[in-house]
Amino acid sequence: MNSNHQITFHVSSTQVFACCPVCNQITHRVHSRYERTLRDLPCVDFCLTILLQVCKFFCRNEACKRCIFTERLPKVAVPWARKTIRFAEHLTSIGLALGGAAAARLSYQINYGSSRNTMLRSIAKLEPPPAPTPKILGVDDFAFQRGHHYGTILVDLEHHRTIALLPDRDAKTLVAWLEEHPGVEILSRDRSKTYKSAISEGAPNAIQVADRFHLLKNLQEVLEKVFHSNYPALKSVDAALLKSEVPEPHAPESNEKSKVPPDEQGPRSRAHRLNNYQQTHALKQQGY
Ligand SMILES: [Zn+2]
């Protein structure tokens, strides 16, 4: 820190009664006193610490499960905290503006003295602002750990904003979210039967559409199958078109190879692509 100067305030609470945090009953019976240490906003160039004497009270409600409790100071500090609320709010604001590492560097320069992790924790505690339920919602899965653990991502497709990450891709989780957020009119999804049934149950009035990515992916897969199964015919057409103008391409592949699915060809598929690549460059050099 810039300064080693320290101001310490010794403060005592003067409350003579308190409400039990469990049953809310008022009590005057003091059990004991104890001291809390709270970091507060720095004063000029001085770090400020408050040593705060607070009371512990007996709960007088015999039916209450809490026998003894510490008085609450909701405008000063939350229970168990080691910072005042206003100091914590300042740290959060700095963290939100700068992120963890830069916020920590600044905090040491201005005598706030908080680490990067403290900054990040203060941001992580924030409740996200309530977002209105989107009319057009995108649903897809994503990997927390590829091949092991997947979740569900929900995207507001009108505003291009992620609005929720669900912990798994089970139907019941999505059904619960949809039931808590009524009003979705159009749902874009992949062809997963799980999502289809979950949407039908959780948002039965919503229109379900296949999203563009999966439509194009499906189209690509089908076209690859069609072209691959007709490879010899396509090759002969290609050769006939080029015959009068360009050198004869390499020999057509055998029918046996053309029946092998693309994902099983491995090195042969790579050699085939490499051949195409070299042939393309050769044609380009000839002006095609
Ligand atoms: Zn109580």
* pLDDT tens per residue, range 114-129: 999 999 998 988 887 7
> Does residue 92 surpass a pLDDT of 50?
yes
The mean pLDDT value of the chain amounts to 88
Domains and CATH numbers, the chain: 6-124 (no CATH), 136-214 (3.30.420.10), 230-285 (no CATH)
Residue 218 — pLDDT band, cuts 50, 70, 90? confident
Rounded mean pLDDT, 171-199? 93
Q: Kindly calculate the radius of gyration of the chain based on its CA atoms and give it in whole angstroms.
A: 33
> Does residue 239 surpass a pLDDT of 50?
yes
> Does residue 178 surpass a pLDDT of 90?
yes
How many angstroms separate the alpha carbon of residue 6 from the centre of ligand 1? 39
Q: What is the pLDDT of residue 248?
A: 52
How many angstroms separate the alpha carbon of residue 24 from the centre of ligand 1? 6
How many angstroms separate the alpha carbon of residue 71 from the centre of ligand 1? 12
How many angstroms separate the alpha carbon of residue 52 from the centre of ligand 1? 23
How many angstroms separate the alpha carbon of residue 60 from the centre of ligand 1? 7
> Does residue 184 surpass a pLDDT of 80?
yes
> Does residue 36 surpass a pLDDT of 70?
yes
How many angstroms separate the alpha carbon of residue 26 from the centre of ligand 1? 8
Q: Is 8 left (phi over 0), alpha (psi -120 to 50) or beta?
A: beta
Rounded mean pLDDT, 108-113? 89
How many angstroms separate the alpha carbon of residue 61 from the centre of ligand 1? 5
How many angstroms separate the alpha carbon of residue 5 from the centre of ligand 1? 42
The residue assigned the tokens 């055998």 is 254
How many angstroms separate the alpha carbon of residue 126 from the centre of ligand 1? 29
Q: What is the pLDDT of residue 1?
A: 41
Residue 2 — pLDDT band, cuts 50, 70, 90? very low
How many angstroms separate the alpha carbon of residue 21 from the centre of ligand 1? 7
How many angstroms separate the alpha carbon of residue 58 from the centre of ligand 1? 8
How many angstroms separate the alpha carbon of residue 86 from the centre of ligand 1? 28
How many angstroms separate the alpha carbon of residue 19 from the centre of ligand 1? 8
In terms of pLDDT, which residue wins out, 127 or 265? Answer: 127
